Amino acid sequence: MSQPVTDFGEDATPYEKYVRADVLTHLQHPLTDDPGEMAFLVTTQVMELWFTVLVHEWRTAADALRGDRLGDALAALGRSVAETRALNASWEPLARLTPREFNAYRPALGDGSGFQSAMYRRLEFLLGEKSASMLVPHRGTARAHAELSKALGEPSLYDEALAYLHRHGEPMPREVLGRDPAQRYEPHPAVAAAWRRIYARAPEGGDLLRLGEALTEVAELVWRWRNDHLAATRRAMGGKTGTGGSPGVAWLEKRASRWVFPELWSARGDV
C-alpha cells in the first residue's frame, strides 16, 4: 500500500503553494484583547472571499449571455446560488452578538465600514446598483479604483440578460438596450411585459424561463443577504450611527427594500 508523500525538502507543500493557506491564516491582526474580535475579523475576511467568487461567477454568466452561451451562463448562476447561501451563512457567528459584545471591539474599526468594501461594490455593480459616487472612497487604492471604474461602465448581469431576451424573441425598446450602463438600473414596463409573456408560457417558456428562474433565485438570495445584514446589525447596535458615519440600520432598511432584477418580481403578479 502506497504512503502519502510527506517530505518536500526545503520547499513548501504543494497544498500550500496552491491554497496559500499560510497567507490566509496570518491575515488576522486583532487590535483589542477581546476574544470575539478574531471571529469578527475572520468572518469579514471570509465574506470578502465569497464576494470575490460571486463577482467571478456573475461576470462569467454575463460574458456567456453576451456570447449566447446560455448553458454556461446557467451553470455559473447555479454555482453562485450555492455560493451565496454559503455567504449568507457567514452572518451566523455575528448574528447573536449582544450590544456589549459588539462594543467590546467596535472601536477598533475606527472609521471602517463594510460599506467601503471594494469587492462588495463590484458585486453590487454587477447587479445593476451603479453609482459613480461609490468610487470616491477608493481613490487612495489605485487597483481597486481602476477595477471599479471599469465595472461602472460595463453592462450589468441583468443588462446582458435583457439583451439576450431581445436576441431570442422578446424585443426590448431602444432605451433599455441603449441605456447608460454606468447608471443605476430602473424598472421599465416593457421589460416587465416581456417577463410576463415568458412566464405565461410556462412550462413551455423554455430557455428564457430557465434564465428567469435562475436570475430570480440569485435575486432572492441577495435580498436574504441584505435582510440578514440588517437583522445582525439591528441586534448588535440597534439604531446607533454605523461605523464610518453611515446611517447604520436606517441605510440597511432602505437597501433591504430594493429588489434586484425588479421586473422578475412585479411581472409575477400579472401572470
Give the Cα separation of 147 and 158 in Å (integer): 19
Interhelix angle 206-237/249-256, rounded to 10 degrees, is: 160
What is the number of other CB atoms lying within 10 angstroms of the CB of residue 92?
A: 11
Of 260, 263, 237, nearest to 101 by C-alpha is: 237
What is the number of other CB atoms lying within 10 angstroms of the CB of residue 84?
A: 21
Binding residues: 106, 229, 243
Provide the pLDDT for residue 151: 97
Give 53-112 pLDDT, tens digit per residue.
999 999 999 999 999 999 999 999 999 999 999 999 999 988 888 889 888 888 888 888
Binding residues for substrate: 106, 243
Global model pTM greater than 0.85: yes
The residue whose grid cell reads 502519502 is: 4
User: Is residue 128 predicted with pLDDT exceeding 90?
Assistant: yes
Give the Cα separation of 265 and 73 in Å (integer): 21
For the chain, the average pLDDT equals 91
SS3 242: coil
Evaluated on CA atoms 221, 226, 227, 231, the torsion sign reads positive
Domain limits, the chain: 31-104+119-270
Give 36-67 pLDDT, tens digit per residue.
999 999 999 999 999 999 999 999 999 999 99
Question: Are 27 and 77 within 8 A, CB to CB?
Answer: no
Q: Which grid cell is 204?
A: 413551455
Give the Cα separation of 132 and 179 in Å (integer): 16
Of 57, 53, 87, nearest to 73 by C-alpha is: 57
Provide the pLDDT for residue 258: 81
Q: Which is more confidently placed, 178 or 5?
A: 178
CATH annotation of 31-104+119-270: 1.20.58.480
Binding residues for heme: 229
